[in-house]
Amino acid sequence: MNEAAHIADLQHRIATTGDQDAYKELFLRFQPLLKKFAYSICHSREAAEEVVSDVFMRIWVKRKTLDHIQNLKLYLYIATRNFSLNYLRARQRHSTLQIEELKIDTIALGDDPHEHLLSVEMQQRIAMVVNDLPPQCKIVFKLVKEDGLRQREVAELLHITPKTVENQLAIAVKRIGKAVLASNDRVPKE
C-alpha cells in the first residue's frame, strides 16, 4: 500500500470508527514533520509542540468529518500553518508572516544507502549550502525534498505559484550541485 493510500486508510478508520490506533499512527507519522514546520513559523520549540498538539486535538474532536478531507497530508500542513499564525497573533509578536522570517533547521539526510556514501565533509557542505539558501528557497526545498510534499501542495501552502516553487527548487538544486562538484574537485584522484 503506497503512502497516500495508507494515510487515506488511517483517515477513514479514524472517521468511521474512532480507531485510536490509527490516530496514534497518524500522529507518530506527522508530528515530527509538523513540529519542524511550526517551529519555522513560531521560532519556539514549546510553541511548535503546542501548535501541533492543538492540530491533532482538533483532528480528534472533528474526526467524524475527517472523510470529507481530500488530502489529509496537505490539510495537516495548512492547519499547522494556520494554528502557528494564530499563536503568533495571540502573542502579539507579529501580525503577518513574511517568508523571510521562516527558520529552517538544517536538512537531515535520510537513511538512503546512497546518502551514506557521502563523506561527513560532503554532508556538512550540503547542509551549509541549504542553510545559506534564500529563505523562500530554503522552505520550498525543505517541504518538497525533506517533508515529501508535492510542488503543487507547497505552492498552495505558501500562497505562491507552482512555477515559483519549481524555480526555487531549481535554484536550490543548482547551488547544491555546485557545492558537490566543488567538493569533488578537491578529492585526490587515485
Q: How far apart are CA 175 and CA 115, in angstroms?
A: 18
- The set of cell numbers assigned to 93 is 509578536
For cell 495571540, what's the residue? 90
Of 57, 59, 48, 49, the C-alpha closest to 7 is: 59
Residues contacting 69, CB < 8 A, separation 6+:
11, 75
Q: What is the pLDDT of residues 138-190, one digit of tens each?
A: 888 888 887 888 889 889 888 899 999 999 888 888 887 777 677 655 544 44
Residues contacting 51, CB < 8 A, separation 6+:
38, 42, 80, 83, 84, 87
pTM confidence score:
0.64
Q: What is the pLDDT of residues 77-131, one digit of tens each?
A: 999 999 988 888 887 644 444 555 555 554 444 455 554 555 666 677 777 888 8
Domains of the chain (ranges, CATH numbers): 3-91 (1.10.1740.10), 104-186 (1.10.10.10)
